[in-house]
């Protein structure tokens, strides 16, 4: 099957899921959540104000009309204004995306590179003291709450030692990348590296026992070449899938890091929105992040095919 | 048991688990925690964690200090507020405050209480004993994790059983639901529900976690049911006239119980972690309930003042339980693996 047809089919298959996400979010906010007019009108509301707000939000209309409004909002990307700041939701997301990506992308690249390197190393010396010590260490590391990492890391490296700014962000790209993003990225790395190393180690070990590895060694190839070229190429297949599947987990870490380090990203905006009951932002974020997650999965499938030509796109 | 009867799955699994030293140790740790939760829940221990027994930020007893560990400080519970510099302005509430004080001089006349200068694991901002606080916090966090995991596992099992057993449109619709719930990143979904529900409470978190966390169980149980529904023993049960419900829950369910148990144990760990994050952010337990997450939240500000003991206590208590539970999950998975025969 060629790529174009595959893409169209996969995108088409996403439609029902996406519809489900829209329905779920709609159901949550328009049915479970009760009347948002009371939140908006504040504590001293009179009935006229409430009726007015209900009319503006469109919640005095029948449910199906409200659903249509919601779908139109998603398609046009116009979710109106934030209830807390009156800033257009689309403007908020546009300005918050950059900082989030500046945290997420280095974290993902560094995490994958480090985890693969460590996994290859421990797999090469499997069963040794190094292997066992690292595996035991990663079990312990995994059990400590990521909150503890962030709290202690921020206190020790930024507050006590003063190596990094405690929190903050600037308008300058390089300054952000080299000053403000460094500690959050490193802490994010600390949190996510242990489970990845454990998993990638098993992937590498699965490959190391294969016949082609023995053949490569028998040909007299160096151990480095066997590991980096032969084993890694094959172990890369599950690793890539895992990196893309781990994206939501990475997002969780990034949410908290943004909040702790006062980075004006999407995660911090969402947490703020939950605190302020700022529904338009939460709705928009849920729908768009879900969409992005699905696209990331599709990208994973394509990469899978590119890495392993034996895999047929179907 | 007759001498030639072969041991069942659970007997075999227990035998294998008993040989696993790491598994047994973690089982002991988990059971100890559960006993603690039970005692705290019943009100036998850590009932009065809200009592202010120590001075503010009382250090732990083991810190090198020249003070006698049983030393106490005499503190007036509600001291008169210090004189505040009003910058020449008149206090608009001065008259009312004077009236209140004249009517109700309790604050001035309450007996002076003795507060301890040091506590076993230190004290927090108000002088609560961190040891009792961490026990009470463990109770909340573990109970939330356990109950939510039972709820999520039950839900996932039921849906997985229906989807796998009936197939066709039932399967399609449950799969669709699965796709929807997994498309939204987990934490984001929890945030959205927390934002909508508006009310904080232990039961709210349990509900949120339970209603969103069923997806992993669903996938595995569905696969098990797909596999089992055409096995001979199920077909035989059907031929004997067993109803669908009986085939699903009396015949097949016991054969998938090992999968469910491992998932349950995995969910407990995951939900405890989620509860801690939610409570930390203030979307979890209400203010009058203490959990590991709310303790970490307080500890964040205490750390800047150099008061590290609450952070250490809550962090360690959680790390030990999570390590033990994860290792136990691994041991259970190995012990219950039906491919192992010995």
Nearest Cα residue to B162 out of B151, B175, B143, B148: B175
B300 pLDDT higher than 60: yes
Read off the pLDDT of residues B283-295 as tens digits, 9 standing for 90 and up: 878 878 888 888 8
Interchain CB distance below 8 Å, A21 and B180: yes
**Extents of the domains making up chain A:** 3-76, 91-307
**Going by C-beta distance under 8 Å and a sequence separation of 6 or more, which residues neighbour residue A84?**
A272, A273, A276, A278
Structural contact between residues A168 and A90, judged by C-beta atoms closer than 8 angstroms: no
End-to-end CA distance of chain A: 7
pLDDT along chain A (314 residues), means of 10: 78 85 83 66 68 71 77 77 77 82 86 88 79 81 82 83 79 76 84 83 82 86 83 82 76 81 84 82 84 82 76 62
If contacts are CB pairs under 8 Å, which of residues 13-72 in chain A contact chain B?
Answer: 16-18, 20-21, 23-25, 28-29, 32-34, 39
B108 pLDDT higher than 60: no
Phi and psi based region of residue B59 (left: phi greater than 0; alpha: psi -120 to 50; beta: remaining): beta
B83 pLDDT higher than 70: no
Predicted confidence at residue B149, as pLDDT, reads: 93
Predicted confidence at residue B310, as pLDDT, reads: 84
Nearest Cα residue to B156 out of B204, B193, B210: B210
Reported pTM: 0.82
Please give the residue of chain A at the shortest CA–CA distance from B181: A21
Choose the mutation target among B177, B178, B180 for the interface with A, i.e. most A CBs under 10 Å: B180
Q: Tell whether ipTM is more than 0.90.
A: no
Nearest Cα residue to B75 out of B17, B143, B127: B127
DSSP, collapsed to helix, strand or coil, labels residue B75 as strand
The region of weakest confidence among A193-202, B106-115, B212-221 is B106-115
B228 pLDDT higher than 90: no
Supply the DSSP symbol for A300. H
DSSP, collapsed to helix, strand or coil, labels residue A253 as helix
> How sure is the predictor about B342, in pLDDT bands with cuts at 50, 70 and 90?
very low
| Shortest CA gap A311–chain B (Å) | 23
| Shortest CA gap B319–chain A (Å) | 5
Chain B residues near residue A159 by CB distance under 8 angstroms: 304
Burial track B176-200 (b if 16+ CB lie within 10 A, e otherwise) = ebbbbbbbbbbbbbbbbbbbbbeeb
Q: How many CB atoms lie within 10 A of CB B305?
A: 9
CA distance A3 to A158: 49
Interchain CB distance below 8 Å, B183 and A294: yes
Assigned token pair, A261: 């380090």
Chain B residues near residue A13 by CB distance under 8 angstroms: none
Class of domain A91-307: mainly alpha
Q: How many CB atoms lie within 10 A of CB B125?
A: 14
Read off the pLDDT of residues B30-48 as tens digits, 9 standing for 90 and up: 999 999 888 888 877 777 7
């Amino acid at each position: 099957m060629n790529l174009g047809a595959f893409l169209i089919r996969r995108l088409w298959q996403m439609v029902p899921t996406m519809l489900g996400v829209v329905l779920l979010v709609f159901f949550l906010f328009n049915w479970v959540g009760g009347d948002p007019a009371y939140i908006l009108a504040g504590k001293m509301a009179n009935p006229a104000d409430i009726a007015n707000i209900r009319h503006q939000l469109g919640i005095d209309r029948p449910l199906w009309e409200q659903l249509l409004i919601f779908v139109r909002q998603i398609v046009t990307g116009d979710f109106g204004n934030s209830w807390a700041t009156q800033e257009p939701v689309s403007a908020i997301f546009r300005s918050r995306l950059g900082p989030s990506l500046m945290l997420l992308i280095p974290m993902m690249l560094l995490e994958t590179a480090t985890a693969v390197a460590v996994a290859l190393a421990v797999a090469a010396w499997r069963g040794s003291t190094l292997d066992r010590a690292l595996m035991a260490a990663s079990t312990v590391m995994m059990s400590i709450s990521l909150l503890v990492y962030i709290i202690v890391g921020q206190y020790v490296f930024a507050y006590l030692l003063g190596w990094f700014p405690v929190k903050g962000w600037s308008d300058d790209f390089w300054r952000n990348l080299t000053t403000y993003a460094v500690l959050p990225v490193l802490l994010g790395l600390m949190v996510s590296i242990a489970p990845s190393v454990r998993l990638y180690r098993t992937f590498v070990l699965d490959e190391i026992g294969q016949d082609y590895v023995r053949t490569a060694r028998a040909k007299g190839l160096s151990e480095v070449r066997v590991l980096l070229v032969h084993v890694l190429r094959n172990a890369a297949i599950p690793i890539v899938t895992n990196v893309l599947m781990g994206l939501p987990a990475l997002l969780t870490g990034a949410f908290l890091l943004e909040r702790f380090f006062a980075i004006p990203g999407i995660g911090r905006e969402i947490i703020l929105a939950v605190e302020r009951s700022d529904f338009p932002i939460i709705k928009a974020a849920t729908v768009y992040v879900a969409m992005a997650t699905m696209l990331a999965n599709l990208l994973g499938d394509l990469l899978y095919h590119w890495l392993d030509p034996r895999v047929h796109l179907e | 048991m007759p001498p030639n009867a072969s041991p069942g799955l659970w007997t075999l699994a227990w035998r294998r688990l008993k040989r696993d030293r790491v598994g047994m140790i973690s089982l002991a740790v988990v059971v100890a925690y559960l006993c603690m939760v039970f005692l705290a829940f019943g009100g036998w221990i850590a009932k009065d964690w809200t009592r202010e027994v120590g001075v503010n930020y009382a250090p732990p007893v083991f810190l090198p200090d020249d003070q006698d560990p049983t030393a106490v400080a005499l503190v007036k519970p509600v001291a008169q507020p210090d004189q505040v510099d009003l910058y020449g302005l008149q206090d608009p509430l001065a008259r009312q405050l004077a009236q209140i004080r004249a009517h109700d001089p309790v604050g001035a006349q309450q007996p002076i209480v003795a507060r301890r200068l040091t506590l076993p694991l230190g004290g927090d901002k108000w002088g609560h004993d961190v040891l009792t606080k961490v026990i009470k916090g463990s109770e909340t966090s573990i109970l939330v994790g356990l109950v939510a995991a039972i709820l999520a596992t039950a839900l996932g099992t039921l849906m997985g059983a229906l989807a796998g057993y009936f197939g066709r449109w039932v399967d399609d619709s449950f799969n669709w639901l699965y796709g929807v719930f997994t498309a939204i990143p987990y934490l984001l979904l929890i945030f959205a529900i927390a934002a909508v529900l508006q009310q904080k409470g232990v039961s709210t978190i349990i509900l949120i976690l339970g209603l969103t966390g069923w997806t992993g169980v669903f996938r595995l149980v569905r696969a098990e049911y797909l596999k089992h529904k055409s096995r001979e023993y199920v077909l035989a049960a059907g031929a004997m006239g067993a109803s669908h419900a009986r085939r699903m829950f009396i015949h097949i369910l016991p054969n998938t119980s090992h999968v469910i148990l491992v998932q349950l144990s995995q969910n407990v760990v995951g939900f405890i972690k989620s509860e801690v994050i939610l409570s930390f952010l203030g979307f979890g337990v209400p203010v009058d309930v203490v959990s590991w997450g709310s303790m970490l939240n307080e500890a964040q500000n205490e750390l800047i003042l150099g008061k590290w003991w609450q952070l250490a206590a809550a962090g360690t208590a959680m790390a030990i339980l999570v390590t033990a539970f994860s290792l136990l999950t691994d041991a259970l998975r190995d012990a219950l693996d039906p491919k192992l025969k010995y």
